[in-house]
Amino acid sequence: MAVRHSDHAVDAGARAPVALAPDPAGPASSDEDIGRGLRGGDERCLAEAYRRWGGLVHALAARVLGDAREAEDVTQQVFLAAWRGRTGYRPERGPVAGWLVGIARHTTADALTARARRRELVAAAGAALPPGEGVPEGPEQVLDRLLVTRELARLPYDQRAVLALAYFGDLTQAQIAHRTGLPLGTVKSHARRGLHRLRSRLPATDA
């Protein structure tokens, strides 16, 4: 799912609503209409729900997580979960906004758990930094290792975590996404940004 605050369409997975045309599920519709339409599988109501309450969900997640980018990922997950679980929405139990807030609380809690797990994995990966696997290292190799380790430690946490798991843990990006709970696209983004920073900071040598 790829939902952004500026988008005019919501990618809901296999049946992604795109290029939405004007529809009764628009700004003039009541919250009750949006709820009924969403429960009935109307993708345009999903898009309208995001336009109305996406900012609320993002603000709640950002307040708990303290990270706007991570809150954006949580917001996407919330609306994907809402779409997939739309038949579980019961109008008589409360408005759509309250239902979405409930999903947001669970999703944010999961994000905090995943964050703690990533920290444990990074710590484990750092402790398992291979010392050369029995091959004697010369002064230049030792210096290279120290330089890389130092620059890696200077990266933002998520970038450092992804690169540590990739290179010290020998995990693919898909495996990192599975183990950390991060979306695959986020893992790729962190890896790309982290590598760019490392390349800009490390001296250009054969090593």
> Could you list the pLDDT tens digit for every one of the 207 residues in the chain?
444 444 434 444 434 333 333 344 455 588 899 999 999 999 999 999 999 999 999 999 999 988 888 899 999 999 999 999 999 999 888 899 999 999 999 999 988 888 777 676 666 555 545 554 444 444 445 545 556 667 777 788 788 888 888 877 778 888 888 888 888 888 888 888 888 887 776 654 444
Is residue 198 a contact partner of residue 159, using CB atoms and an 8 Å limit? no
- What pLDDT does residue 177 have? 85
Select from 69, 63, 64, 55 the least CA-distant residue to 185: 69
Contacts of residue 157, defined as CB under 8 A and 6 or more positions apart, other chains included, come to 119, 122
My answer on whether 1 and 102 are in the same domain is yes
Q: Model-level pTM?
A: 0.51
Asked if residue 197 and residue 105 are part of one domain, the reply reads no
Helices 96-127, 31-39: axis angle to 10 degrees equals 60
| Inter-residue contact 101 to 56 (CB < 8 Å) | yes
Closest CA to 28 of 48, 56, 57, 8: 48
User: What CATH number is associated with residue 102?
Assistant: 1.10.1740.10
Q: Where residue 169 sits, what CATH number does that domain have?
A: 1.10.10.10
Q: Looking at 66, 95, 127, which one is the last position of a domain?
A: 127
Is the domain of 89 the same as that of 178? no
Contact 187, 161 (CB under 8 A): no
Domain limits for position 28: 1-127
Residue 206 lies in a domain: no
Measuring CA to CA, how many Å separate 197 from each of 152, 162, 180? 9, 14, 22
Q: Do residue 113 and residue 149 come from a single domain?
A: no
| Same domain? 154 vs 115 | no
